């Protein structure tokens, strides 16, 4: 790790001011991505602005037909939240299957979406549920927000303040864990909202999270596991690494999609 | 059996300090004025160092010294050594290149040591290391085990075809004859995957130099501090032994990787004098992945010949063993004498011939890792046996039973003389524990749920203790493999035992105390076990090869004999009886046939006050030492059966059942033994399903962190069903065989045999990851559909 200055503002506004003032400053949320890269000297911010004391970035609230989660809410808090469990159980399930207990008690939803790791779980939920990312400057749909591998629409100095998830009629998430890291090797989130069905895939795409239109169409016709029979995802554009080559990953998309629908339909 | 004696499941004495965070590991040791070392490592797998420019780095804040291989050479510090000489088939010695602690002119693997920066803080040392300019001329990398020997690129000039040795064992002609007479020959190609040991505590060192006394002290993560001192002194030339103290305090796991004498420890103790300040280094996890000696890495072709009745006639094995870029301390012994002599397994095999080619590659050095050679041998034997049974259409349990050795002692064709055992008893018990009879139904139930179920056996044997010193000497070992002990009885009858064994997770402070408690009839709380300090313990060979029970405790046993004999002399004077009439039992010296007796503590006091005997005829005091040299290896053996269920949709393998029946001879503490079995199986399952070090073609370690290298986790493992059979070891006084490695030796073939059973005999390599199993399952189902 290189030397840096450390700041701990108590509101998002203060954090934004600090971020604007310090050159090469970075926001620190749970630190589970940022700190390891700093320890390995792969990142060298001059200043860290720790969001840990910003009370306005924390907490879970149900507002009308939306579940709104503050950026600094940990995965463990989302997993254990009675509000989330009641409104979108698949989202609580997803949060409860991120990493291990240490990761879930430090890692935050804001850090996760801002980082947009192609193997992270939340991006699939945001995309499938049609969530809105709220920053200190604007509101962005998930499609607008996730722009590529580790890339988001966030501008310099922009802070994710919360994520708003519309409550849907049915949703399910299935994840095939990377055996070593336990990130998603393939994660599929399915959501049915009125007549619309969305299927979002994480962990597998060369460009990060993506939607699977053929599965969406099949499920729109009938929201059942059987509708996915015989449907195969192409291996084109799918990631390969030592744990899974594109062919196997593409196959797992189909398997996980079925499991997600089974969860959503209680079958 | 007393509550704390031999055979009792005593809670571990050392756990209080470990569990309450009061263990004292090398990194917990801080010396006044201490500074920090950081090693600049090679980013290339293979390169010539044309120049190293340290000038800019030397002027950076906090920097105290920067040293390279040239500085070591100038101080006449020798290279690291390989302590086991192997001879080629033609009798010539193996071809070993030099192994400098800091590179001299060339780097040979990613992580190789280029320079060391010593600075006030670790951060300053790292900053300065980044400012060192190294001019590398990159060379092609040789990575692959199977093709290293034929590669154009030469890693060491001393080994022009990258081959360290071509070695063999056994009778080639007898084997060829056996194969000619065979009615069936099974052929298998096997890879034993490379593993990274990953002890929880990474390696660390604190070097200290006392200029007044001229004495060096090295605190380090060692399984054998005396061997470290011997090598650092006699071969590397740090200081004479009387001027060099090595202390291995609490050590958080080793699995073999902390047997060896490495560059970093050597450089720290040398640099302490150079800079006049204590020098500390602690590996981070990345450094551990890159530079700890790795394990396994064999490519093997093996064949088994059987007759028409299914009796084994002969075996031939050809193995290429990857030893990495340099020969680590005991690397040459692992794929030779710790491997081929185990190829007879538990079977009566009249003829065996094994050839081993050892190769250099541009990868981390490979050396002993839990089991060391024996897991590799067991994998070959148990895969061959299983596949042969399948090809002959025989039940794998019955085929094993048919070929087991039944009469002891048994001389195998590959050196070993098995002393005792009852292999059939272990198999029978394991079959009951796993409910072999119910397997058919379980398979059908799985099939109905769309799953594939399989069962796999492993009848392993290992050779532990290693071994009579004269025997290993004749095979090329540079050291003897006895053990020492000293029993110091204090005047009030408490006891300190100094042992040359070293505990780094095994629980010696408990089991050794149980032995003393049992024999002297005193509370284990009155016994302290002292180890890991060359200034306290005179000499010792350390802990590896499951030797601390069979060899280390036998030395204690011998010293206790002497203590009791001396105590009888003292008691005879005090009780005014003839020495021959004194019995010692239950902690009392008693005159036969009378009620006159003296408890052990009082006897000790009498020995020290020396009031009741003539100090010229009988020496005062009660302290005895012993060196124990074993008369044979010990031969733990057993049967592990693994049952798996595979989801062909995802390729995920779940271990559903695990029955382990081990014969470790007599057991001192069944709880600790069971823990050793659990840990060993976890590592073996890790090898079979999860772990695998992977270098890419450029020699970069792709699996250099836990994000990519899959360590077994608790939820990867089933609940183990552990049982025992006992045939006491006849060669040592306690009848102990050793239990530390059995689990890791037994389990990989059990898992792979189970998976291949589930897959309709489709072969699969380790680690059998979900991807590999999915692909094999598809192949198998396509094949069965076609048939
Ligand atoms: C061992 C391990 C296993 C893991 N397994 C999983 C897994 O299975 N699934 C999964 O999805 N994730 C996994 N993670 C990632 C983890 O859950 C976190 O989501 C991730 O580390 C980012 O969250 P964080 O709060 O730690 O962010 P940090 O590391 O603090 O920050 C990450 C990045 O986001 C920026 N940032 C943080 N907060 C904000 C904000 N409010 N606005 C704008 N930018 C911001 C930071 O500046 C930084 O660049 C794992 C991590 C580890 C270490």
Is B286's Cβ below 8 Å from some Cβ in A?
A: yes
What is the distance between the alpha carbons of residues A225 and A260, in angstroms, rounded to a whole number?
9
Atom of ligand 1 nearest to the CA of A135: 42
Supply the pLDDT for residue B106. Answer: 98
The phi-psi region of residue B476 (left if phi > 0; otherwise alpha if psi is between -120 and 50; otherwise beta) is left
What is the distance between the alpha carbons of residues B728 and B736, in angstroms, rounded to a whole number?
6
At residue B236, does pLDDT exceed 90? yes
Q: Spell out which residues of chain A touch residue B771, defining contact as CB-CB under 8 Å.
A: 243-245, 248
Q: Which of A4, A58, A103, A118 to mutate to test the pocket of ligand 1 (most atoms within 8 A of CB)?
A: A103
A87/A116 same-domain check: yes
Average pLDDT over residues B92-105: 97
Of B650, B690, B694, the CB nearest to A252: B650
**Quick check: B485 and B495 in contact, CB under 8 A?**
no
Alpha carbon of A84: minimum distance to chain B alpha carbons (Å): 27
At residue B605, does pLDDT exceed 70? yes
What is the distance between the alpha carbons of residues B682 and B190, in angstroms, rounded to a whole number?
21
Cβ-in-10-Å burial (0-12, 13-18, 19+) of B649 comes to middle
At residue B415, does pLDDT exceed 80? yes
Q: Spell out which residues of chain A touch residue B715, defining contact as CB-CB under 8 Å.
A: none
Q: What is the 3-state secondary structure (H, E, C) of B601-629?
A: HHHHHHHHHCCCCCCCCCCCCCEEEEEEC
**Quick check: B456 and B641 in contact, CB under 8 A?**
yes
- Are A242 and B694 a contacting pair at CB < 8 A? yes
A11/A78 same-domain check: no
Is B708's Cβ below 8 Å from some Cβ in A?
A: yes
| pTM greater than 0.95 | yes
At residue B577, does pLDDT exceed 70? yes
Element (H, E) at B529: strand B527-530
- Are B771 and A41 a contacting pair at CB < 8 A? no
The phi-psi region of residue B507 (left if phi > 0; otherwise alpha if psi is between -120 and 50; otherwise beta) is left
What is the distance between the alpha carbons of residues B44 and B323, in angstroms, rounded to a whole number?
18
A9/A45 same-domain check: yes
CATH number at residue A48: 3.30.43.10
Cβ-in-10-Å burial (0-12, 13-18, 19+) of B621 comes to middle
A128/A212 same-domain check: no
At residue B133, does pLDDT exceed 80? yes
**Quick check: B562 and B491 in contact, CB under 8 A?**
no
Atom of ligand 1 nearest to the CA of B707: 1
**Quick check: A90 and A115 in contact, CB under 8 A?**
no
Q: Is residue B5 part of a domain?
A: no
B614/B543 same-domain check: yes
Q: Is residue B100 part of a domain?
A: yes
Q: For residue A243, what is the nearest residue in chain B, using CA coordinates?
A: B771
B159/B265 same-domain check: no
Pocket of ligand 1 (CB under 6 A): A 26-34, 51, 71, 75, 98-99, 103, 106-108, 110-112, 114-115, 120-122, 154, 159-160, 181-183
Is B650's Cβ below 8 Å from some Cβ in A?
A: yes
Quick: pLDDT tens for B279-307.
Answer: 999 999 999 999 999 999 999 999 999 99
Quick: pLDDT tens for B370-399.
Answer: 999 999 999 999 999 999 999 999 999 999
B132/B233 same-domain check: yes
Supply the pLDDT for residue B352. Answer: 98
**Quick check: A106 and A72 in contact, CB under 8 A?**
no
B303/B317 same-domain check: yes
Which residues, other chains included, contact B19 with Cβ-Cβ below 8 Å and sequence gap of 6+?
none
What is the distance between the alpha carbons of residues B382 and B459, in angstroms, rounded to a whole number?
7
- Are A181 and B286 a contacting pair at CB < 8 A? no
Q: Spell out which residues of chain A touch residue B774, defining contact as CB-CB under 8 Å.
A: 248, 251
CA–CA distance from A133 to each of A129, A187, B187, B771 (Å)?
12, 20, 60, 35
Residue A107 Cα to ligand 1 midpoint, Å, equals 5
Strand partners, B457: B641
**Quick check: B684 and B751 in contact, CB under 8 A?**
yes
Q: Whose CA is nearest to atom 18 of ligand 1?
A: A107
Nearest to B556 by CA among B489, B613, B614: B489
What is the distance between the alpha carbons of residues B87 and B165, in angstroms, rounded to a whole number?
7
Atom of ligand 1 nearest to the CA of A72: 41
Supply the pLDDT for residue B785. Answer: 87
What is the distance between the alpha carbons of residues B614 and B784, in angstroms, rounded to a whole number?
88
Buried b (16+ CB within 10 A) or exposed e, B16-38: eeeeeeebebbbebebeebbbbb
Average pLDDT over residues B35-42: 98
CATH number at residue A202: 3.30.390.50
What is the distance between the alpha carbons of residues B305 and B200, in angstroms, rounded to a whole number?
43
Q: Is residue B26 part of a domain?
A: no
Residue A13 is classified by DSSP as: H
Identify the domain containing residue A29 by its residue range: 5-53
A82/A136 same-domain check: yes
**Quick check: B316 and B302 in contact, CB under 8 A?**
yes
B619/B674 same-domain check: no
Supply the pLDDT for residue B467. Answer: 81
Of A2, A176, A245, the CB nearest to B650: A176
Residue B716 Cα to ligand 1 midpoint, Å, equals 25
Token digits of residue B787:
């048939």
- Are A181 and B708 a contacting pair at CB < 8 A? yes
At residue B465, does pLDDT exceed 90? no
B355/B451 same-domain check: no
Phi, psi of A227 (to 5 degrees): -60, -20
CA–CA distance from B558 to each of B492, B542, B780 (Å)?
22, 18, 58
Residue A182 Cα to ligand 1 midpoint, Å, equals 14
**Quick check: B131 and B311 in contact, CB under 8 A?**
no
**Quick check: B439 and B377 in contact, CB under 8 A?**
no
CATH number at residue B109: 3.90.1170.50
Q: Spell out which residues of chain A touch residue B690, defining contact as CB-CB under 8 Å.
A: 179-180
Specify the residue for token string 């290339």: B44
A115/A214 same-domain check: no
The sign one gets for the Cα dihedral B578, B584, B587, B590 is negative
Q: Spell out which residues of chain B touch residue A40, defining contact as CB-CB under 8 Å.
A: 286
CATH number at residue B557: 3.30.365.10
Strand partners, B294: B366
Q: Spell out which residues of chain A touch residue B40, defining contact as CB-CB under 8 Å.
A: none
Peptide bond into B92 cis (omega under 30): no
Alpha carbon of B689: minimum distance to chain A alpha carbons (Å): 10
Q: Whose CA is nearest to atom 11 of ligand 1?
A: A120
Is B709's Cβ below 8 Å from some Cβ in A?
A: yes
Task: Kindly indicate the confidence band of residue B227, based on its pLDDT and cuts at 50, 70 and 90.
Answer: very high
Q: Whose CA is nearest to atom 14 of ligand 1?
A: A99
- Are B710 and A251 a contacting pair at CB < 8 A? no
Test the B interface: residue of A180, A183, A241, A254 with most B CBs within 10 Å: A180
B279/B335 same-domain check: no
Q: Whose CA is nearest to atom 48 of ligand 1?
A: A34
What is the distance between the alpha carbons of residues B154 and B151, in angstroms, rounded to a whole number?
7
Specify the number of domains making up chain A: 3
Alpha carbon of A139: minimum distance to chain B alpha carbons (Å): 34
Task: Choose one of B573, B600, B628: the last residue of a domain.
Answer: B628
Cβ neighbours around B760 below 10 Å, total: 17
What is the distance between the alpha carbons of residues B571 and B604, in angstroms, rounded to a whole number?
9
Average pLDDT over residues B54-80: 98
B90/B166 same-domain check: no
Supply the pLDDT for residue B1. Answer: 58
Of B649, B708, B769, the CB nearest to A255: B649
What is the distance between the alpha carbons of residues B122 and A141, in angstroms, rounded to a whole number?
45
What is the distance between the alpha carbons of residues B464 and B548, in angstroms, rounded to a whole number?
10
Average pLDDT over residues B533-541: 95
Supply the pLDDT for residue B328. Answer: 98
Q: In sequence order, what E strands does B531-569 have?
A: none
CA count, 13 A, side-chain hemisphere, B548:
28
Cβ neighbours around A213 below 10 Å, total: 10
A127/A191 same-domain check: no
B82/B228 same-domain check: yes
Atom of ligand 1 nearest to the CA of A35: 29
Specify the residue for token string 């400098």: B100
- Are A176 and B649 a contacting pair at CB < 8 A? no
Atom of ligand 1 nearest to the CA of A120: 11
Specify the number of domains making up chain B: 4
Q: Is residue B553 part of a domain?
A: yes
Token digits of residue B182:
């065979």
Task: Choose one of B386, B418, B450: the last residue of a domain.
Answer: B418
A156/A187 same-domain check: no
Identify the domain containing residue B156 by its residue range: 142-193+294-418
Nearest to B151 by CA among B58, B242, B250, B45: B45
A84/A132 same-domain check: yes
Element (H, E) at B210: strand B204-210
Token digits of residue B481:
């493999």
The widest CA-to-CA distance across chain B, in whole angstroms, is 93
Is the complex ipTM more than 0.90? Answer: yes
Test the B interface: residue of A99, A100, A176, A179 with most B CBs within 10 Å: A179
Quick: pLDDT tens for A20-77.
Answer: 999 899 999 999 999 999 999 999 999 999 999 999 999 999 999 999 999 999 999 9
Supply the pLDDT for residue B730. Answer: 96
Supply the pLDDT for residue B604. Answer: 98
A59/A146 same-domain check: yes
What is the distance between the alpha carbons of residues B683 and B680, in angstroms, rounded to a whole number?
5
- Are B771 and A244 a contacting pair at CB < 8 A? yes
**Quick check: B114 and B102 in contact, CB under 8 A?**
yes
Specify the residue for token string 């061997």: B227
B299/B287 same-domain check: no
Element (H, E) at B417: strand B417-418
Task: Kindly indicate the confidence band of residue A158, based on its pLDDT and cuts at 50, 70 and 90.
Answer: very high
Nearest to B223 by CA among B369, B101, B77: B369
CA count, 13 A, side-chain hemisphere, B725:
21
Q: Is residue B3 part of a domain?
A: no
Cβ neighbours around A77 below 10 Å, total: 20
Is B710's Cβ below 8 Å from some Cβ in A?
A: yes
B614/B677 same-domain check: no
Residue B109 is classified by DSSP as: S
| Average pLDDT of every residue of chain A | 97
What is the distance between the alpha carbons of residues B330 and B138, in angstroms, rounded to a whole number?
29
SS3 content of chain B, % helix, strand, coil (to 5): 30, 25, 45
What is the distance between the alpha carbons of residues B214 and A129, in angstroms, rounded to a whole number?
72
Atom of ligand 1 nearest to the CA of A27: 47
Q: For residue B774, what is the nearest residue in chain A, using CA coordinates?
A: A248
Percentage of chain B beyond pLDDT 90 is: 97
B657/B741 same-domain check: yes
Task: Kindly indicate the confidence band of residue B12, based on its pLDDT and cuts at 50, 70 and 90.
Answer: very high
* Cα-to-chain-centroid distance, residue B120: 36
- Are A179 and B770 a contacting pair at CB < 8 A? yes
Supply the pLDDT for residue B421. Answer: 97
Quick: pLDDT tens for A160-214.
Answer: 999 999 999 999 999 999 999 999 999 999 999 999 999 999 999 999 999 999 9
A174/A97 same-domain check: no
Q: Is residue B14 part of a domain?
A: no
Percentage of chain A beyond pLDDT 70 is: 100
Of B123, B130, B708, the CB nearest to A180: B708
Quick: pLDDT tens for B704-714.
Answer: 999 999 999 99
């Amino acid at each position: 790790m290189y030397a840096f200055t450390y700041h701990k503002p108590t509101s998002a506004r203060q954090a934004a001011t600090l971020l604007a003032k310090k050159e090469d400053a970075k926001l620190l949320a749970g630190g589970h991505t940022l700190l390891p890269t700093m320890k390995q000297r792969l990142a060298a911010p001059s200043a860290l602005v720790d969001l840990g004391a910003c009370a306005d970035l924390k907490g879970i609230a149900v507002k009308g037909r939306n579940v709104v989660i503050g950026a600094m809410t940990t995965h463990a808090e989302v997993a254990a939240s009675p509000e989330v469990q009641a409104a979108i159980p698949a989202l609580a399930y997803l949060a409860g299957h991120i990493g291990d207990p240490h990761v879930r008690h430090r890692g935050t939803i804001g850090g996760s979406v801002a980082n947009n790791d192609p193997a992270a779980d939340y991006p699939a939920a945001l995309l499938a549920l049609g969530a809105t990312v709220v920053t200190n400057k604007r509101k962005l749909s998930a499609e607008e927000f996730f722009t590529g591998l580790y890339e988001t629409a966030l501008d310099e100095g922009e802070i994710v303040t919360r994520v708003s998830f519309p409550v849907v009629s049915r949703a399910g998430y299935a994840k095939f864990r990377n055996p070593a890291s336990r990130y998603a090797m393939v994660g599929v989130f399915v959501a049915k909202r009125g007549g619309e069905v969305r299927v979002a895939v994480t962990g597998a795409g060369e460009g990060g999270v993506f939607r699977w239109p053929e599965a969406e169409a099949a499920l729109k016709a009938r929201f059942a596991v059987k509708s996915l029979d015989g449907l195969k995802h192409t291996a084109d554009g799918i990631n390969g690494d030592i744990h899974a080559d594109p062919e196997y990953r593409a196959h797992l998309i189909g398997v996980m999609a079925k499991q997600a629908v089974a969860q959503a339909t209680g079958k | 059996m007393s509550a704390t004696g031999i055979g009792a499941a005593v809670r571990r004495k050392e756990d209080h300090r470990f569990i309450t965070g009061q263990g004292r590991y090398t990194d917990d040791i801080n010396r006044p004025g201490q500074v920090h070392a950081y090693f600049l490592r090679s980013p290339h797998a293979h390169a010539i160092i044309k120049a190293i420019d340290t000038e800019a780095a030397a002027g950076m804040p906090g920097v105290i010294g920067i040293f390279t291989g040239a500085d070591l050479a100038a101080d006449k510090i020798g290279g690291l050594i390989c302590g086991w000489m192997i001879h080629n088939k033609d009798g010539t010695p193996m071809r070993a290149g030099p192994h400098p602690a800091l590179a001299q002119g060339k780097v040979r693997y990613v992580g190789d040591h280029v320079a060391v920066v010593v600075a006030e803080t670790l951060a300053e040392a790292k900053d300065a290391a980044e400012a060192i300019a190294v001019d590398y001329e990159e060379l092609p990398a040789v990575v692959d085990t199977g093709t290293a020997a034929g590669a154009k690129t030469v890693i060491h000039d001393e080994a022009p075809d990258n081959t360290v040795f071509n070695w063999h064992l056994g009778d080639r002609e007898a084997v060829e004859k056996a194969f000619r007479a065979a009615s069936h020959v099974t052929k298998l190609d096997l890879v034993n995957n490379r593993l990274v040991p990953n002890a929880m505590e990474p390696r660390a060192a604190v070097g200290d130099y006392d200029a007044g006394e001229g004495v060096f002290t090295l605190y380090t993560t060692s399984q054998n501090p005396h061997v470290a001192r011997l090598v650092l002194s006699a071969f590397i030339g740090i200081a004479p032994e009387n001027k060099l103290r090595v202390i291995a305090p609490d050590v958080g796991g080793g699995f073999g990787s902390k047997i060896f004498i490495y560059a970093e420890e050597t450089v720290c103790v040398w640099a302490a004098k150079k800079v006049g300040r204590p020098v500390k280094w602690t590996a981070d996890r990345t450094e551990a992945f890159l530079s700890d000696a790795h394990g396994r890495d064999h490519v093997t072709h093996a064949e088994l010949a059987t007759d028409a009745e299914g009796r084994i006639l002969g075996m031939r094995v050809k193995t290429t063993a990857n030893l990495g870029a340099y020969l680590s301390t005991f690397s040459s012994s692992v794929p030779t004498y710790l491997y081929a002599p185990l190829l007879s397994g538990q079977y009566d095999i009249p003829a065996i011939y094994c050839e081993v080619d050892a190769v250099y590659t541009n990868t981390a050095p490979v050396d002993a890792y839990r089991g060391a050679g024996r897991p590799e041998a067991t994998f070959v034997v148990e895969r061959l046996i299983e596949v042969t049974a399948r090809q002959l259409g025989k039940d794998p349990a019955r085929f094993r039973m048919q070929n087991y050795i039944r009469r002891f002692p048994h001389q195998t064709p590959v050196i070993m003389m098995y002393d005792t055992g009852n292999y059939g008893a272990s198999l029978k018990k394991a079959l009951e524990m796993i409910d072999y009879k119910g397997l058919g139904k379980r398979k059908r139930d799985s099939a109905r749920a769309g799953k594939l179920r399989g069962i796999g056996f492993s009848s392993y044997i290992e050779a532990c203790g290693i071994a009579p010193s004269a025997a290993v000497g004749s095979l090329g070992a540079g050291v003897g493999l006895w053990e020492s002990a000293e029993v110091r009885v204090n005047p009030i009858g408490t006891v300190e035992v100094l042992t040359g064994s070293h505990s780094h997770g095994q629980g010696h402070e408990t089991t050794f105390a149980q032995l003393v408690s049992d024999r002297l009839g005193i509370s284990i709380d009155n016994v302290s076990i002292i180890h890991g300090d060359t200034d306290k313990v005179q000499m010792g060979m350390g802990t590896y090869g499951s030797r601390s029970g069979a060899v280390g405790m036998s030395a204690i046993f011998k010293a206790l004999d002497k203590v009791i004999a001396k105590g009888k002399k003292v008691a005879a004077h005090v009780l005014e009886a003839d020495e021959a009439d004194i019995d010692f039992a239950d902690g009392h010296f008693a005159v036969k046939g009378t009620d006159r007796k003296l408890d052990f503590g009082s006897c000790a006091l009498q020995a020290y006050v020396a009031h009741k005997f003539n100090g010229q005829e009988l020496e005062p005091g009660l302290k005895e030492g012993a060196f124990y040299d074993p008369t044979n290896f010990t031969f733990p053996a057993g049967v592990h059966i693994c049952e798996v269920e595979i989801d062909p949709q995802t390729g995920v393998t779940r271990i559903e059942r695990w029955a382990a029946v081990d014969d470790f001879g007599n057991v001192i503490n069944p709880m600790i033994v069971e823990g050793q079995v659990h840990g060993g199986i976890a590592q073996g399952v890790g090898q079979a399903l999860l772990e695998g070090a992977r270098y890419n073609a450029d020699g970069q370690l792709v699996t250099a962190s836990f994000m990519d290298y899959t360590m077994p986790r608790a939820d990867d493992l089933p609940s183990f069903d552990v049982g025992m059979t006992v045939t006491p070891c006849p060669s040592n006084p306690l009848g102990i065989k050793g239990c530390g490695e059995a689990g890791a030796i037994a389990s990989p073939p059990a898992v792979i045999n189970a998976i291949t059973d589930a897959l309709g005999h489709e072969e699969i390599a380790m680690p059998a990851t979900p991807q590999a199993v999915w692909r094999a399952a598809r192949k198998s189902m396509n094949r069965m559909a076609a048939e």
